[in-house]
Amino acid sequence: MRAFGPPEAPFPDRIDGVGAVEIAVDLGVVERIGARVPSELLVDELGREEARRLAMARLQALASVRGLCDLIPELAAVATAAGIPIVLLKFAALQARGCLAEGSRAAGDVDVLLRERDAERMAEILTGHGFRATATTLADHHLPPLLDRDGRMVELHTSLPGMRPPGNDRFAGFDALEAAGGLERAPGLGDHCLLLRRDLMAAHAVAHGLAHHCGADAYPVSRMLADVIDVLRVDRRARWSHAREWIAADVPVSHLDAVPGLCDALEKGELDALAGPEDALLRHVLAGSLNPAYRRSLAVGFMLRPLTDGPRWRRFLKTVQWNAFPTKTQVAAQMGLPNAERVTLRLRLAPSIALAKRLPSLTREVARLAWRRLVGARTARPG
């Protein structure tokens, strides 16, 4: 109710303030509540100490993203000077569109999309401006993150996993989005700084939350729903009908159908009457944040069925190699070592040993997933 619904709608009964704040923390919506609800109301409903926790969460989010907000026009200026068009994504796009209440959303970096031929050039230019490459990651769709002296991070993307132009089986890149009329100029940021069309911004959020991260802590589904609500304020269902075909290949149809209805219900604060796909998606949101076993099953499912526009077996083997046999450079980045020469044999073997210890639990999760799918298939079979 407080994260999504009418900010001052009264609750029918008094609530457990401590328990409510703990769940808000687990769901990743504390800063959103602190930004949209008057502090006097929070004190009255939760108690002074719990209301203070929400207020502090908002201030911390505000402080953490202030540098990123300053970085957005700096990147736009660099892109304009170099003649390289860039597309702001995720937090940066929401901020540039004016969709966010101040301090309502946490973020760790600024994400931009470029043509593949421009990505390396942009990385070189940013390196000349004081950025340096950080930990390499298992990603085919972006370069290693770049970090500046103030701790601000940039990710240069070359495609958007989970988003495929209608009739195309490859992930969307800059050229495909431009050809489809999916790009718009970012207001006040020059000729070379662009945004996705609003419906495609929502599609990207859903693909990122439900297909790419599967509800993981890196991008919880609660934040995904908040982003969809904030970007599609008007004509939500009409715009969503245009957006869903871009992500239909990678997001379950039931989730696709549920997104606009669940967003509407969250905004109205009317969740008691939810049924069907909307209720199932809400349960997925809650379980993904509050149930450790369910979260582990999501991670295993993602590993077995990775998001890719190439052969899944190749991506699976690459994931196993990445987790079990990381390179010296990866280990150095993960351990915070200054260079790969400091990586000993013991440190290189540590991920393999850790993975071996987890194999029994991973095997159990795989067996559970296989059993659920088998039972589901039998239930769906006629007769």
Mean predicted confidence (pLDDT) in 15-22:
89
Q: How far apart are the first and last CA of the chain?
A: 43
Q: 245 pLDDT exceeds 70?
A: yes
281: alpha, beta or left, given left = phi > 0 and alpha = psi -120 to 50? alpha
Note the pLDDT of residue 383.
42
> What is the spatial distance between Cα 318 and Cα 308, in angstroms, rounded to a whole number?
12
- Residue 37 domain flag: no
Q: Are residues 132 and 165 in the same domain?
A: yes
Query: What angle, 0 to 180 degrees and rounded to 10, lies between the N-to-C axes of helices 276-290 and 253-268?
Result: 80
Higher pLDDT: 287 or 314? It is 287
Query: Domain boundary residue among 290, 315, 349?
Result: 290
Q: Are residues 309 and 284 in the same domain?
A: no
Contact 173, 114 (CB under 8 A): no
Strand, helix or coil at 110?
strand
Q: What would the pLDDT profile of 181-224 be if each residue is shown by its tens digit?
A: 999 999 999 999 999 999 999 999 999 988 866 545 567 889 99
Contact 277, 299 (CB under 8 A): no
Q: Are residues 182 and 90 in the same domain?
A: yes
Q: What would the pLDDT profile of 108-154 be if each residue is shown by its tens digit?
A: 899 999 998 899 899 899 989 888 877 555 556 678 888 898 889 99
Average per-residue pLDDT for the chain = 84
Q: Are residues 286 and 255 in the same domain?
A: yes
**109 lies in which domain range?**
65-290
Query: Domain boundary residue among 290, 312, 345?
Result: 290
Q: 100 pLDDT exceeds 50?
A: yes
Q: Looking at residue 191, which CATH number applies to its domain?
A: 3.30.460.10
Query: Domain boundary residue among 251, 269, 290?
Result: 290
Q: Are residues 160 and 186 in the same domain?
A: yes
For tokens 């769709």, name the residue.
141
| Number of domains within the chain | 2
Instruction: Identify residue 275 by its one-letter amino acid code.
Output: A
